[in-house]
Amino acid sequence: MKIQKAVRMQNFQQNIFSEMADYKNKKISEGMDIIDLSVGSPDLPPPQFIIDALSKSVTNPNMYGYALKGIKEFHEGVQEYYQKNHSVHLDRDKEILSLMGSQDGLVHLPMVICDPGDVILVPDPGYTAYAAGAALAGAEMYSMPLKKENQYLPVFNEIPENICEKAKLMILNFPGNPIPGMATKGFFEEAITFAKKHNIVILHDFAYCELYYEEKPLSFLSVEGAKEVGIEMNSLSKSFNMAGCRVAYAAGNEEIIALLGNLKSNLDYGVFLPIQLAAVHALRDQSDFLEKSRSIYRKRRDTLVDGFNNIGWQVDSPKASMFMWAEVPSHYTSKQFALELLDTAGVVVTPGNAFGKWGEGFVRVALVQPEETLLIALEKLRESKIFL
C-alpha cells in the first residue's frame, strides 16, 4: 500500500536541528566526547515540594479521571501569581486557560484566529513552534527582523501597509528564544497601539519570565490596553524545571481565551490532575527556589561570558532566559561555525539560521550544563585554537 502524504506535511520537513543531532550522534559513535549546549531544556530537577506533591497525588485513585479543563485550584493559582508578581488582576473563570505546555497554545492559537491566506507577524529569529502554528492554520508568516541595532525589538513602521491589512495575529517573545532580549513598557505600548490600529491579536510568549538576572521582565498584561488586544502564555517548564509535565496557561482577553478553549475542548481532555495540583504548589511557592535557580543560571552565564571573551570570542551577556545569542566570526556562516565547534572541540551549539533568516551570523548557546562542565567546554574551545 502506498501512503499518500498530505500536502501540509511539506511544512514539517527535517530541518537543521535534525541535521545537527545526526552529526552529533555520528561523532559520539566515533568516540568523541561531546558537551551539548544546544538543548533548550532545563538540566536541573524540579523542587522537592513539587515532586512530593506529585508523589502524593498519583497514589490517589480519584486522580485518574478526565480533567476536561483547568481545575479551579489551578486557575486560582494563576490568578494569585499574576496579582502578586505583576500586579495584574485576572478573572479566574474567563481570562485563564490551562495548556498542555505552552507549545500547545502557541501551535493551536493561529487555528482560531487565522484563515488560510491570512498573515501572522512573527519574530525572526523566533521559536520554531510559531512556524508550525502558521502551517496548521494555512496562514502566511511575515518576518519581523530582530536586529542588534534595534535592541532586538521589531520595528512596526517597517511593516508594509498591505501586510498590516492582511495580518490577524502578531507573536512577541520577551525574554526570548533564541534571543534573550527584553521588552520595555514603551515597546509594549507601541505594540498595543499598532494592534488596535490594524485589528491584530497579540500573543506574548512569556515562557522565560522567571529566568532573569539583573532586571525582572515585564509582563505584557501589565501594560494598559493589553487585555483589549491579546493574551500572554506562560509555562512551568523552564521556571520550575517541569518540562516533561506539560503544564502551562494562557491568560488575558476573554474572547480569545474562549476561542482557544473551544478548540481545545475538541482536541484533548485536559492536563493530568496530579500535575495540575503540583503546578498549584509552584504558582503559590513562597520558598527561595526561584532565586536559587536564577543564581545557578547567572553563574553559568558569567562563566561562559568571561570564558568566551578570554579566548577571543566576544559575546554579549544576556539579561534573562537560559540562552546566549553569540555572533560568529565573520568568515563563517552560522552552520559552518557550529560544525567547526563540534568537529574541533566537541561542543554543540545551534546555528542561528535554524530560527529564521535573520539568525544567520549567530549561534544559540544554552546554559544547560553544570558549571564544571562549562569550564571543560571552555578549555576544549581554547585548545581548538578556533579563535586565534
- Pairwise CA distance, residues 272 & 67, whole Å: 6
Do 97 and 235 have their domain in common?
yes
Q: Which three cell numbers stand for residue 217?
A: 521582565
Largest Cα separation within the chain, whole Å, is 63
pTM score, whole prediction: 0.95
Q: How do beta strands 167-173 and 140-145 pair?
A: unpaired
In a domain, 1, yes or no: no
- Pairwise CA distance, residues 257 & 331, whole Å: 47
CB count within 10 Å of CB 12 equals: 13
Q: Which three cell numbers stand for residue 45?
A: 530537577
Give the per-residue pLDDT at 14.
Answer: 62
Question: Total structural domains in the chain?
Answer: 2
* 3-class state of residue 37 by DSSP: coil
Do 279 and 293 have their domain in common?
no
Report yes or no: 323 and 369 within 8 Å, Cβ to Cβ: no
372 alpha-carbon distance from chain centroid: 26
Structural domain span for residue 58: 48-283
| Per-residue tens of pLDDT for the chain, all 388 residues | 889 888 888 777 667 778 888 888 998 999 999 999 998 889 999 999 999 999 999 999 999 999 988 999 999 999 999 999 999 999 999 999 999 999 999 999 999 999 999 999 999 999 999 999 999 999 999 999 999 999 999 999 999 999 999 999 999 999 999 999 999 999 999 999 999 999 999 999 999 999 999 999 999 999 999 999 999 999 999 999 999 999 999 999 999 999 999 999 999 999 999 999 999 999 999 999 999 999 999 999 999 999 999 999 999 999 999 999 999 999 999 999 999 999 999 999 999 999 999 999 999 999 999 999 999 999 999 999 898 7
- Pairwise CA distance, residues 295 & 367, whole Å: 12
Q: By CB neighbour count within 10 A (0-12 exposed, 13-18 middle, 19+ buried), where does 267 fall?
A: exposed
Q: Which of 127, 147, 182, 221 is nearest to 320 (CA)?
A: 182
- Pairwise CA distance, residues 379 & 33, whole Å: 13
CB-facing half-sphere around the CA of 100: CA atoms within 13 A: 15
Do 53 and 40 have their domain in common?
no
The last residue of a domain, from among 239, 263, 283: 283
CB-facing half-sphere around the CA of 308: CA atoms within 13 A: 21
Q: Which of 4, 222, 233, 215 is nearest to 96 (CA)?
A: 233
- Pairwise CA distance, residues 122 & 143, whole Å: 5
In a domain, 2, yes or no: no
The last residue of a domain, from among 233, 257, 283: 283
Do 13 and 135 have their domain in common?
no
Do 122 and 155 have their domain in common?
yes
The residue type of 83 is: Q
CB count within 10 Å of CB 297 equals: 21
CB-facing half-sphere around the CA of 186: CA atoms within 13 A: 2
Do 227 and 131 have their domain in common?
yes
Do 330 and 360 have their domain in common?
yes
Q: Which of 247, 292, 300, 369 is nearest to 47 (CA)?
A: 292
Q: Which of 312, 364, 307 is nearest to 20 (CA)?
A: 364
Do 311 and 368 have their domain in common?
yes
The last residue of a domain, from among 254, 283, 312: 283
Q: Compute the Cα dihedral for 360, 148, 305, 188 and give only its sign.
A: negative
359 alpha-carbon distance from chain centroid: 16
16-29 and 334-345 helices cross at what angle (nearest 10)?
Answer: 10
In a domain, 275, yes or no: yes
